């Protein structure tokens, strides 16, 4: 999720627990073999065994439409040690689709097969190659055909966002169409889209027939969502994440943002996350209103200290 779920938020959310693995935001591949520093900028976990600081594996996602170029970049990327290569066939952004990438590829199943096949041949046999698709571009008429094309290319796993490109992010998600795809292929299928709560997760599983789920904006809104699903499955007895438990993580997020992102991005990134959190936590609404007009890191850090999100000596965070 470009501009939202980057390495900083991956670090924080995986500290909460319940996540099996992460997928990076997409790395755009056009006409050249990218240097390693580009991969490291987007997926810095590659310098640490391909895992977040809490030990959760990260797959690196590529986006493009040229099978040869994607394969060459996948080979270089694979040598850097991700825990898999993921292919983006779902991005709905107009600028991406205009250049034949993301969801636009769902109008050409044969090209999907060639892309997956080229990447599969380019990376070690033990390394998973997965893909994420939407139900289609303008409609879902070819959804199963596209999934079968991805399987034919050699993908090990398929995530399906249960909307078309035309649907964008508007509710509802058509989870029952994911079930049609699941029944049409033999590789594991993971359902995604409009999963905000435990109840959504349970309804998605029932409609899609999928046991595994990919969480995106729902996990950003409720960092304890994956744990809640695991708790319902009987795999953990860890209670829900309270606002008091979340505050230190918001503080840790702010420290990372100040340390790793440009000054002009810092306050905006914090407010972006709070904007999601206020859907789940009433206290996040209070925090958002308190910080929404601030742009200088110093008063933001002062507020963090006052709220107990950071220790008093953390005022030095602004000099990191």
Distances (CA, A) of 22 to 8, 12, 233: 12, 12, 20
Q: Over the stretch 10-33, which tens digit does the pLDDT of each residue have?
A: 999 999 999 999 999 999 999 899
Structure confidence at residue 218 (pLDDT):
96
- Does the active-site annotation cover 210? no
Fold of 7-232: TIM Barrel (3.20.20)
CA 209 to chain centroid: 22
Residue 108: burial class (beta carbons within 10 Å; 0-12, 13-18, 19+): middle
Q: Which of 22, 69, 91, 210 is catalytic?
A: 91
Structure confidence at residue 216 (pLDDT):
95
Contact status, residue 58 vs residue 13, Cβ threshold 8 Å? no
Report residues of the chain scoring pLDDT below 50.
317, 319-320
Structure confidence at residue 312 (pLDDT):
87
Cis peptide before 218 (omega within 30 of 0): no
Sheet hosting strand 189-192, strand order edge to edge: 22-28, 58-63, 85-89, 129-134, 157-161, 189-192, 213-214
What's the whole-model pTM score?
Answer: 0.94
Structure confidence at residue 2 (pLDDT):
62
């Amino acid at each position: 999720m470009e501009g939202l779920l980057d390495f900083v938020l991956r670090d924080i959310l995986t500290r909460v627990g319940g996540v099996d693995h992460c997928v990076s935001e997409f790395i755009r591949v056009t006409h050249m073999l990218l240097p390693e520093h580009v991969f490291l900028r987007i997926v810095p976990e590659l310098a640490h065994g391909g895992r977040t600081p809490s030990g959760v594996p990260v797959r690196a996602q590529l986006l493009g439409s040229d099978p040869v170029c994607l394969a060459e970049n996948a080979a270089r990327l694979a040598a850097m040690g991700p825990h898999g290569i993921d292919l983006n066939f779902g991005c709905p952004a107009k600028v991406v689709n205009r250049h034949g990438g993301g969801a636009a590829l769902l109008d050409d199943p044969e090209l999907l097969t060639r892309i997956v096949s080229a990447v599969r041949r380019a990376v070690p046999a033990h390394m998973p190659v997965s893909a994420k698709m939407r139900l289609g571009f303008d409609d879902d008429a070819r959804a199963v055909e596209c999934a079968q094309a991805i399987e034919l290319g050699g993908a090990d796993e398929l995530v399906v966002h249960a909307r078309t490109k035309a649907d964008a992010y508007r509710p509802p998600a058509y989870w029952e169409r994911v079930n049609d795809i699941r029944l049409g292929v033999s590789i594991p299928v993971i359902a995604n889209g409009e999963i905000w709560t435990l109840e959504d997760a349970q309804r998605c599983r029932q409609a899609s027939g999928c046991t595994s789920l990919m969480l995106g904006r729902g996990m950003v809104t409720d960092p304890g969502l994956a744990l809640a699903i695991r708790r319902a499955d009987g795999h953990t007895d860890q209670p829900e994440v309270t606002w008091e438990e979340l505050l230190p993580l918001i503080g840790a997020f702010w420290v990372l943002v100040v340390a790793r992102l440009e000054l002009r991005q810092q306050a905006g990134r914090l407010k972006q996350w709070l904007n999601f959190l206020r859907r789940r936590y009433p206290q996040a609404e209070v925090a958002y209103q308190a910080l929404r007009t601030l742009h200088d890191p110093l008063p933001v850090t002062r507020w963090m200290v006052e709220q107990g999100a950071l220790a008093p000596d953390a005022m030095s965070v602004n000099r990191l």
